Structure formats: structure tokens, C-alpha cells
Structure 1
């Protein structure tokens, strides 16, 4: 009841502040009629103490949709007298304002304002980190988990966007992996964008794109930032990161090095029932121990002239696990129960490095060329020794489990952008990547043959963007040829041989009814290919009667999606329908060769989704709030799985910030997902309430205090029945706890300048 009460409280607050809105557009000129090149518009509601600020560029400025009422505006520009006026904003208004020349010398001023940190426009959710309390969280995965409709797994190794699945990840508009995402220091991020309707410029392997844009270096000077975050959850965790930005005229450098000393905690419980044999396998596992991470990056950019540059960037992570695992298992067979207590000595290595080289050239005033190459290497090596400790006086080594996966990926790309005129723009490009992976897996009783997997993809795309009065559109087509070969290395026997060519259209049309209302329609076809860590023959020991297995025969999942959107001011209504074929679900089966139950990734026949989304943002004095309501129905069908029926789900998200002064703010966020059925799967409800406080003492020192999962309600439970095996699994999270981040910054920098992009568009498959 406390979850529902909290949910309806936020709903009531959100709708209580729904207001009719209008926009203000101004053309600002000098006395001789010339447009003012740059200035600032300050607008303040009569009963509001916090003003809003907008930049005037080339004499033009338009506010966001504002609640109707009486406002005071002030327009300032260097060399001109301040213009001030009070007026009633009752509807959309357009004004022409003339500034008078002023020769008075300007003194330094300090501005305090409430700026919106989270916006949603044309299918793009944008978080500006400079104005968000999220910028103070200890790692990037924690920031991503706070976005509406985004769910990060309990182990923080996978991301899911409601209705979209796993997003593809980009760093400065090019693809990265989840490892590289977690290696990015939060303090280095300028903004995060979630693209729910990406264009054909982005590869077809994804239904949503998550773009991380880094802060850029300046032309000269330096700045160093030291940040330490300490968190008390189940155990104590400490995150330390240092960032340095250095500029030498045309040459810019950015350096980052961190050290995370974690006392990791992870737990799950599962019950599998095999009705055919009257067999029940029920266990609870706890993994707890030290985890060391050293993330870092080095970036160099050189400006050849005002427009052209060459750059390189290297990101790496050194990751070491040394965590014992305790597993208690109860086996019921033929009416008799048997208890097992296992202790596992587990050591793991997950090292990752990627490096790229970029070249950007402005061929003409309206034509730009980008080229780049990238190399990535990832290794994942785990050794587990499992002991039977059911009887402490007779401890036995019952199993040895070793898994290793190495992956090397080379990629290259070239993009060209042509601006025909102010109404039409054309983009086109070519991409290629080649991947070579190797995996090995063995236990005391079963040694899997070593497996090699090669994959190459050649892709090209073209996109036309246009603006015809009130109609704007983007129409694109992507062509991808994908070749996959899998073989057992000891016999060189080919077991996977696939050569596929697919077309992926993406079309978006937006019609502006008026300045407050617009309607858009979006269609996209995409594909979700399995990661390299899934498409192999690795087998992981869970207990004596259960293994986790990978699948060399996984097929890519194809998706067709149609989205209708209606936008009124800042609020929006979105209706979505999609169909996935060969979607990936984690299901169970019985392996007669080993006489064990096995669970792992499996293709299902189809998945249909029907979603309705409402976005309700608002501001009131010092209060900024983003509210996100999501209702829908998901129906997954497969011949091997029992139909659990379908029931609608409701998801609610609310993110709130109270900015008392420019140096002190308090935040509160909450989300709730109700229990529902998805055809082959049932999913229990979950929720999380978090509270934050942010204080900046001066230009050098700041601190951030946070409490996550205050109600201790965040856990994920799913159930299904497939091939006669019923499964119900709960994943416990380590979010409940408090933390403190302290940041020290010194140095002085001028203009930002660092430029770099990643080239590999399929990096997230290197897991």
C-alpha cells in the first residue's frame, strides 16, 4: 500500500500543477535596424522570484512554453542599455525590440536562475548535467538508472528501455560498450540524450540510442577535478576519480584516471519445477567480496584550422573480482528433500581497451566529411572452484568452472553531410566492422570444445532531412550485409554459417499545427543481434542439477515499430505499436546428455507491444518536476512456452528538484512498475524512492549527499514455464543505502575545444 500511496501522491501533485501555456518570440535590433549578434533575455513571472534566461543569437530568441500570466522581461547586450518591460502573456506573442546604445562600462554580474535539466522534444529525452543533481552521482550507470523508463540491471551490466529493449550506446555520437560507459567519469559528461526514434544514421542494431556527450576542452589553460564518493550499502564502496583538461592553443588534451575499491554484494534466488519428473530445484545464491576497478581515458585533439581537426582517444578499464559465492540448494525428487551447501572461490578478470583515430574536414561551406577507425579488445576470464560444505568435517571439491572469452574488433566509417539550403539537408555514410572472438569453457566433468566466432558487417545509409513550411521530415534507408561463421577450433568444424542482407527504413514526419501543438508519425525497422558473449558454447555451473548455458544458434531479433506523437507545449502524448520476431528471452530446458536443467538465452516466436505514454513536465517557482506515465500491454508467444496470459502494466516516474539558491538544492525521484503478465512471462512490481541534497561551497569545493531506495523496495521477480519447466527468479539489488560525494576543482580554462568520436557502431556486443 505504501508504494501505491506514494505513486498516487505524485500523480496528484503532477496534475494539480498542469497549466495553460504560451511562448514569447523576440526580434532584437539596434537603433539602425541591425540584428543584435548576442545578448540575454531574462523573463520573470510576477509571483515568481527565480527568473529564466535565454540566449539571443543573431537577434532572435524564443522562450519555452510558459504558464500564462504577467511577466517582466529584461534584455541585455554588451554596448546597449538594458531594456525592461512588464506585460501580460495570455497567448503566443511575437515582439520586435530596439536597444539603445550605451557607452557605460559593464561591471561583473552574478546570475542565479532555475534552468530545466531534463527535457523531452521530438522523441529525444535530454539531460543537461550542468544543471542536474544527477551530475553528482558516483558512476554513470547510476545516472542512467535515474532516467524515466530506463531500467539498469542489478549487476549494472545491462540496460533496458521500456518498450525498446537494450539501447545502443554512443559516446559523442559513436558506439561504445557498457564497460566504456561505466568508465566515463560523471563529471566529464556535458549531457545525456535518449533517442527513442533514431534516424538511419544510427546502425540498425537497436531500437533506441543513448548518447553521452562529453564536456569539451578549452583552447588554453588547465583544470583539474578530484572527486571521491563513499557509499554505505550492504557493504562499504569507495569511488575515486581524477580528471584533467589541458589546452595549448590548437592542441587539446583530456586525461582521466579512477580507482574504485568496492565490496560488491549480489544475490538472487530461483525455484525451478520440472513437472514431468516431479522435480524441484530451489536455491539462493550470495556473492560478496572485493572488486577493484581502474577506469581511465586519454584524449588528444589538434585543430588544423577553424573547422578541420584530427583527434584520438583511448578508453580502458582494469577490472578484478575476488568474490566467494555461497549457494544453498534444496532438491525435491520423488517426494524426498535433499539439502546442499556450496562455497565457491571465484576470481575474475574483465579488462577492456578501445582506441580511435578521427579526421574531420569541411570540404565546402555546405559539405562536411568525417572519417575514423577504431580498435577494441575485451577479455573476460573467470575461474570458479566449487566446494561441498554441507558437512563441515568433509569438505569436497565438487566442481571446477572456467570460462574465458576474448574479442577483438576493428571498425571504420566515413560520413558526409551536405546542406543544400535552409530547407534540405542530406547525410550519407559507409561503415564496416570485423570481429574475431574466442571462447573456452570447462568443468571437472565436462570440457566444452573451444569455440571461435568471426563476424563482418558492411553497411551504408542515406538520409534526407527537409522542412516545408509546417511539415518537417526525415527519411532514411540503411543497408547492412552481415556474415557470421562459428567453428570448433580443435576440429575446425563449421557449425554456424550465415550471410544475410537486410534493408532498414526509418521515416519521421512532423506537422506543426501552431506554436503550441504538433503531431508526428515515425516508422522504423531495426535488428537486435546477440552479443559476442552470448553467441558461444560457454557453460556455467549453478549447482549439481542446474547449469547456465549460452547458445551458438541464437538468431537476430527483427523489429517493426510505429509511433504516433502529439505535443502540446512541453507536455506530450505518445502511442506505440511494435512487433519483434525472434526476440531473446532467458528460458529453461532439460539436457538429457548431462541429466541437468539448463537456462539461457533463447529465441521466441514473436512479441507484440502496445504502449501509451504521457509526459507532464512543469516548473513552479523554485520547483522543477518531470513526470512520466507509461501504460501498455506486452504479449509474447512461443510454441515451447506456456501462455501465462496478458495483463496491462502501469509505470510512473517523477523527478523533482527544489533549487533554494544557486548553490544549494534538494532532489527527490520516484518510480513504480506494477505487476503484470507478458504472455510467456510474469513480472512482479517494483519501485524506488531516492532523496538527494547538493551543496556548492565555492568555486573549488562541493558535496553531494544521497539516499537510494529509501523504502528498500527495489527487487526484480520474473516467472515463466517453458518446455515443461516452471521458473520463478528474484534478483535482489544493492541500491538501498546512503552516500557522500566530495569534489575539489582547481585551475582555469578558457574556450572549450576538444573533439572526438568513437567509430565502432557495434561495441556494446563486446561484452
Structure 2
């Protein structure tokens, strides 16, 4: 959450901030002789102002890890400037001292061993903001990317937050991650990604993932973990990988918060606020956000149908718009019984409203070029959804470092309803129609999780856990045709559907980690018992499916220096069919291209392997890797054509899907002016199925780049470009997609406020094109958003003490 100073109090504003300044030895003391015990050690000192050594009241003192500047502990000086930090473990640290009206001071070389239980750093002198330092300044920076043994950790810094209103905006700036045309995350250009929020399934926050990501404020996020070959600890689902979105937590004490308002063109606005309070054992945090959305789009489709004796041609062109409103609120209460036991309770609520309209012209012609039928399909739809989530977390720490037990439970319930009206206009009387579709959905889910982490030795760790998730979904789609004789709607049982779905997943996992000075290993196994009950109520058909799956994982690392390492990872993944993929309801909103679920889908199993090198330092680094994904029963969309030229799209297990290539991500600070980060890859994608007569293979390349430029007068500019190259899909090829965004911001009110101007899709180039070619048809299609998004955002931060794990400037 947003946390900054107010009046004479100064927040730990720059905890985990990507860019900071270290004064040299002439301006700051060096500490290293005395030391502390790992448990119960105490660090004391006094913050004073030069030249009279007067105590500075309520200065904030943060203890940072020397390696990556992450927060280890901290405290606040009293009215005389004296401070105490308890329970300091041995290690190498930096001290950071901040207060309103004073220059931030860093004290390097704080080296703590286990030989004593008290360290007195004496007086630490800070200078008023008005004074200018003449000494040489040494810049230090927390790396944006941290390469862990089985994941990449992307720290969300102030530059990313200044140009991001929600989590969707953040994800586009994360290496190897992109969004498809519907707003669903992709990893390495492929969907089927599991998205977690604080380790819990994102569907606990609602049923529509793009809406969840758009409604979640960016300033609540501390980091994003991307796992392309996840260990057995994480969900076994997600053939492309796992994304875990980690929110900020209150760690010290104080009151702080922030307000953010963004005004955009075409009625694209959003506003959010958050407040955090921590005193003694009790902590309370709350946030509220609201958003209005308005996008317009166009689509075209051109298809030659070869299945009948007389070849026919379908030409479609249309435009449409999507309008929406959503609100998101959360409140959490945490209580620390003592240093070892803590309990947290939270409630999240979200509400979404959507209004959609479209106009689609359809023309069918024969080989001679004469038009056999022509009609325009007008669609007006609206829908509402609510989701309520309760979660309870208990944590028990033991005496040894990293020895702890966690229990988490979440219960979520939601409902949505909607209605669509279709008016089909034509000069041909038989093609004129008025239709209505009424939808109703109710769902609930329960998530239970226990984790136990046991450090067997100082260099070996055992982690075991149990998971269970139970969910149900009742979906009603009622379709009506208007009778010309009576003028009233008549129920159509042929394409209406009542669908009941329940699943229960029981999982146990174990991972074992072993480290030496040079080598690291993590091996794991995940066992999942998956039960699925499908009830096609409309046709009185129900059946159950049971899967028992094993998901092994292996990660090996070899250190090549202080920050460089080699890594080899393997993981087996499973993609189980989702409820929407199974629901046999037939969507006829486009009567020439209908869609339906497939209740006969089987799980998809994917083998993922990766071998890479990484070297990330504070100033930047890179991480090239070779990767390979292989599935022999991939779930993908298949389109078939009947003799009348109508296509049916369903998910199906088509056969072998393979991708392999070279990928790298990187980050680099160039002087004090420019900071860049990004990723790129060259890869081969193949989709092959003898049964479906598919054999598509292609080489491609993709990449994204973020650049942040420091300008005079506290201005910062940013630019983002992303290109997803063409890739093989079932029955054809998906063409490349290019996106470019830019922004500029300025800090105001003694850096308590920020104003920024951002433009998304500068060149209106986010166009999704595909080409499909089979023995029965050849098709070219396009979908493109047609309104450029421009917004002006103002953000204000307030509070006595910043208690977050990251900066949200």
C-alpha cells in the first residue's frame, strides 16, 4: 500500500525502493566491530542533527540486508532521537535513516556476528534537506529481478507503479508475461497460466480473471513471482506456468495510506484509496477502488468453405464496444500474539457491471461472386457479478530460523446474471430474427491449506503441505425466439442449457532443499486427487471423472560467484479442463461461428525443462536460458465447418504440442539517468495431430522493453514496447502483435504526491490476426481495439510511518 510521511513523522518510505543514495565515509559512520546474537540481540543508537548533535525526533531507522537492500527490521526513534531494534540476526546490513525535512542517510558496512548481544552505533548525524552534500555519492539499487531456485521474483518499484493503475498494467511490464486480447495473462506467448494472489487461487476473488486483474489496484502489490517451471509446492495446474501476485503487508507500526485518482479519455476513469494502521500487536488495513471502462473494437473474418459441392465464401465485418464498472474493497485485521504466533483475518468484496454492444454484417456468396444471403446481427448485452471472499491465516514460528507452520483457509461465494438481445436484420424474410438469452450463475468454493517448513540442518530444508479445494458452479442459459404471430418470446430447448458442475481437489506435496557453498538442490513431488462431477441437467445426463496425478519437480543451481549462478529445472504440469470448457451450452451470438463446451475433455500433461544462467546485481544483470515444453495431449480450440458453412469451435485434446528456444531477461541502470529492463526469446512452436490432420511448425521471436528516464525538475519519463511474434496454433498461425505505451510523471509536495500522464497502445497496433487452413476451409480473421487509452493520474501519500515491504511512489 502507499505509505509516506506526515508532519514531523517520516515513513520508512524507501523500503525496498529500487534507487537510493549512499553517502561516503565522510558523511556517515562505518560500523563493524561489535555484534549481536541471532536471537534477542539489540541494536541501539541515536539520530542527531549537525552541528549541535541535537536529537531528531521520530526519525525512522530501517535495517536492510546488504545483499539486496530488502527490509530485515526497523524502528522509530523517540522524541530525543534514541532508537532500538530488537532480535537482529547475524549478517551484513545497511542502516537507512529518514525523516521529514532531512536528507536520507545510508550507513554501509554494518557487519553483525554472533559474539555479543548488544551493538551501540552511537550518534548518527543526518543533514537538513536544504543543505547540499559536496561529497562523492555512491548509488545503490535493489535489483528489479531476483532469480530464485525455482522462480523469478520481480520487485515492483516506483517507476512501474507510477505508470500502472491496476495489476493488468503491471503484468504487461513483467519479463516473459503478456496479455491476450481478452486480458488473460500469457507466459512466453501461451495461455493456460495459473494466477495466484498471495499463494491462493485467484478465482477466490471472482470468476472472471481479467476483471479481477483490472480491479486490483497496482499500489497494493509488492512483487510478482513468475514460475515457468514451478516446484511441487505450487499448483500443479497451468501448462504454461504460475504467476503469484504478492500484496504488501504491514510490518512495523504507524498509520499511513494513500489516495489515487486517474482520469482518462472515453470515460476510462479509476480511483482508489488505502489506509493501514499498526500499533502494538494489532494491525488493520483497508482499501477501496472503483473503475469505469470503455473500449471499442472492430473485427473482420473472411472464410472460404470447401466442404460442400459448391464452394461458398463468408465475409464478416463489425464493430462494437464494451463498457463496464467495477468496485473492489478489502479489509484485513492481523494480531501478533507474540513474536512467534500471528493471526490474520480478511474480507474482500468485488462487484462488476458490463454493458456490451456490437453490429456484425454477414455476407455469404458463391464461387461466381453473387451474394446468396446478407444480414446484420445487432447485439446488446448486460451483466452483473458479485463476489465475496473470507480468509483466515495463522502463522506459528519456532525457535530456529525459517522453522514455521502456516494454516490458511478461504471461503468464496459469488453470483452473476446477464441478458442479451439479438436483432437480426435482412431483406430476406427467413433470416430476420429477434432472440433473447438470459443467464444466471451461482458459485462457491472453499480452500484449505497447511504448510510446515522444517530446517533439518542449517543448509537443508524440508517443506510439506496439504491442500484441499472444493467448488461448485450452477449455470443456467435460457434462450428464446420471438414469435412473429404473438410478438412474445418462446423458449427454445434445443440450445438452452442448465449445467451443474462440482469439483474437489485434494493435494499433498513435499519439497526437500539442500545447499552447500556452491550447490543448491530442490526436489519435490505433488500428489493430487481430483474429482469432477458434471450434471447436464437439461438432458438429464450426469457423470463423474476422477484423476490421480503426480507432479514431480527438480531444481539444481551452481553458484559461479557472489551473484552469478547456473540453473537446471524440470517440472511436470497438468491442465485440467475448466468448467466453461466443459459446459455444452451453445453460444449463437454469432450464428455463422458458434461455440460450445466439450464435456469429454481430458487433462493435458506437459513436461517443462529449463537450463539457464543468471547474474543479477543492484545495478542490473541478465538471465539467459534454454527452455522446452512438451505435451502429448494438448487442450486447444478446434474449429469445424458443416455443409451450410457454419463453424463450431470447441476445446479438444488434439495431440502433440512442442515449443523450445532461447530466452533472456535483463535489467540495467545506465548512469543516473536511464534504467531499462525487458526480455526476449527466439523459439520454435509446433502443433501436430494425425487424427485432426494438423501439422503446424514455425520459428518465432518475441520481446518487451521498459525504459525509465530521469529528467530535470523531478520529472521521470517511461516507455514500454512489446512484440509477440507469430506462432503455430492448431489449424493455423497466430500473427505477431505489437504494443507501445509511454508515460511521464512528476513528484510534488515534497515527494508526497505524484502526477503522471500515460498513453497506452500509442499506435493502435494491438491487432490480433490469425490464419487457419484445413482441408474443409481457409480463414483469415482480425480483432482490434480501436480506442487509444490516455489518462492523467494524481497520487497522494500520507501517514506517520511507512510500514510496507516496498515503495509505491
TM-score, normalisation: structure 1:
0.81
Q: Does 1:408 align with 2:426?
A: no
Superposed CA offset, 1:498-520 (max 9, x none): 11111110000011233464222
Distance 1:77 1:665, change over 3 A: closer
Q: Report 1:402-551 matches (<5 A).
A: 402-443=438-479, 444=481, 445=492, 446-490=494-538, 492-494=540-542, 496-515=543-562, 517-551=564-598
Measured after TM superposition, the shift of residue 310 of structure 1 is 1.4
Instruction: For residue 676 of structure 1, report the CA deviation from its aligned partner.
Output: 4.5
Change (3 A) 1:546 1:751: closer
Q: Distance in 2 between matches of 1:201 and 1:146?
A: 26
User: Which residue does the alignment assign to 2:790?
Assistant: 738
Superposed displacement of residue 254, structure 1: 1.8
**Counterpart for residue 297 of structure 1:** 330
Q: 1:730 to 1:579 in 2, by over 3 A?
A: same
Check whether the contact 2:178–2:187 (CA below 8 A) recurs between aligned residues: yes
Judged with a 3 Å threshold, the aligned counterparts in structure 2 of structure 1 residues 564 and 236 are, in CA distance, closer, same or farther, namely same
Tell me, yes or no, if the aligned pair for 2:349 and 2:388 is still in contact at 8 Å. Answer: yes
Q: In the alignment, which of 197, 217, 230 is matched to residue 171 of structure 1? A: 197
Distance 1:525 1:76, change over 3 A: closer
Match among 657, 662, 681 for residue 612 of structure 1: 662
- 2:682 and 2:699 map into 1 onto residues whose CA distance is 7
Q: Distance in 2 between matches of 1:258 and 1:350?
A: 16
CA distance in 2, matches of 1:83, 1:447: 71
RMSD: 3.5
> Residue 19 of structure 1 aligns with which residue?
none
Q: Is the 8 A contact 1:219 1:252 kept in 2?
A: no
- Tell me the distance in 1 between the aligned counterparts of 2:35 and 2:798: 44
Residue 418 of structure 2 aligns with which residue?
Answer: 382
Are the counterparts in 2 of residues 401 and 541 from structure 1 also a CA contact under 8 Å? no
Q: How does 1:182-261 map to 2 (within 5 A)?
A: 182-206=214-238, 207-217=240-250, 220-232=253-265, 235-261=266-292
Range that drifts further, 359-368 or 644-653: 359-368
Residue matched to 1:332? 365
Where in structure 2 are the equivalents of 1:548-567 lying within 5 Å? 548-567=595-614
Unaligned runs of at least 5 residues, structure 1: 1-27, 40-53, 65-73, 86-99, 755-767
Residues 101 and 315 from structure 1, CA distance in 2 versus in 1: closer, same or farther, beyond 3 angstroms? closer
Residue from 363, 370, 376 that aligns with 1:341: 376
C-alpha spacing 1:633/1:380, structure 2 compared with 1 (3 Å) = farther
Residue 262 in 1 paired to residue 293 in 2? yes
Change (3 A) 1:504 1:186: same
Tell me the secondary structure at the aligned position of residue 231 of structure 2: coil
1:521/1:77 CA distance change after superposition, 3 Å: closer
**Range 264-273 or range 387-396, more displaced:** 387-396
**C-alpha displacement of 1:554:** 2.0
Sort the Cα spacing of 1:612 and 1:483 in 2 relative to 1 into closer, same or farther, 3 A. Answer: same
Do the aligned partners of residues 706 and 642 (structure 1) sit closer, same or farther apart at CA in structure 2, a change above 3 Å counting? farther
Structure 1: distance between partners of 2:561 and 2:798:
48
Structure 1 residue 275, shift from structure 2 partner: 0.9
CA distance in structure 2 between the partners assigned to 1:372 and 1:729 by the alignment? 46
CA distance in 2, matches of 1:606, 1:82: 56
Q: Any residues of structure 2 matched to 1:8-87 within 5 Å, and which?
A: 30-31=32-33, 61=67
Question: Taking structure 1 as reference, are residues 186 and 32 closer, same or farther at Cα in structure 2, changes over 3 Å only?
Answer: closer
CA distance in 1, matches of 2:528, 2:107: 56
Alpha-carbon distance, 1:291 to partner: 1.5
Residues 76 and 150 of structure 1: CA distance in aligned 2, closer, same or farther (over 3 Å):
closer
Distance 1:333 1:37 in 2: 86
Give the CA deviation at 1:525: 0.3
1:685 to 2:736 alignment: yes
d(CA) in 2 for partners of 1:382 and 1:120? 44
- Cα distance in 2 for residues equivalent to 1:112 and 1:692: 28
Check the 8 A contact 1:640/1:722 in 2, yes or no: no
Report the equivalent of 2:627: 576
- Displacement of 1:298 in angstroms is 1.8
Given the alignment, which residue of 753, 763, 771 partners 1:701?
753
Judged with a 3 Å threshold, the aligned counterparts in structure 2 of structure 1 residues 630 and 512 are, in CA distance, closer, same or farther, namely same
Cross-structure match for 1:358: 393
Q: C-alpha offsets along residues 573-592 of structure 1, whole Å, 9 cap, x if unaligned?
A: 21111212332222212468
Report deviation, 1:649: 0.3
Equivalent-residue separation in structure 2 for 1:753 and 1:610 (angstroms): 36
Q: Does 1:275 align with 2:306?
A: yes
TM-aligned CA deviation for residue 290 of structure 1: 3.3
Shift of 1:435: 1.6
SS of aligned partner of 1:323: strand
Please list the CA deviations of residues 681-727 of structure 1 after superposition, one character each: whole Å capped at 9, or x if unmatched. 21212212221112110244211111222222221112223572433
Q: Would the alpha carbon gap of residues 601 and 403 (structure 1) be closer, same or farther in structure 2, given more than 3 Å must change?
A: farther
Aligned to 1:137: 164
Equivalence for 1:106: 125
How far, CA to CA, are the matches of 1:38 and 1:590 in structure 2? 74
Q: Is the 8 A contact 2:195 2:243 kept in 1?
A: yes
Query: Structure 2, unaligned stretches of length 5 or more?
Result: 1-29, 45-60, 71-92, 98-104, 110-118, 130-136, 204-208, 482-491
The Cα shift of 1:213 comes to 1.8
Query: Does the 8 Å CA contact 1:507/1:524 hold for their aligned counterparts?
Result: yes
248 and 399 in structure 1: CA distance in 2 versus 1, 3 angstrom threshold: same
Segment of structure 1 superposing worse, 663-672 or 266-275: 266-275
Deviation at 1:545, TM superposition (A): 2.8
Contact 1:155 1:266 in 2 (8 A): no
Instruction: Indicate conservation of the 8 Å contact 1:262/1:290, yes or no.
Output: yes
Return the offset for 1:627.
3.6
Deviation string 1:493-546 (CA, Å, 9 cap, x unpaired) is 22x421111111000001123346422211100111232222212222233333
Q: What SS does the corresponding residue of 2:214 show, helix, strand or coil?
A: helix
Q: Give the Cα–Cα distance (whole angstroms) in 2 for the partners of residues 218 and 516 of structure 1.
A: 28
How far 1:101 moved relative to its partner?
8.7
C-alpha separation in 1, matches of 2:42 and 2:303:
68
SS at match of 2:175: coil
Report the Cα offset of residue 646 of structure 1: 1.9
Contact 1:704–1:741 at 8 Å: present in 2 too?
yes
Match of 1:150 among 172, 177, 182: 177
- Matched position secondary structure for 1:187: helix
Q: 1:629 to 1:736 in 2, by over 3 A?
A: same
After superposition, give the CA deviation of every residue in 1:559-616 in whole Å (9 maximum; x if it has no partner).
0111111235522221111212332222212468x98421232222110111111334
Flag the 1:135–1:196 CA change in 2: closer, same or farther, 3 A. Answer: farther
SS at match of 2:126: coil
Specify the SS of the correspondent of 1:514: coil
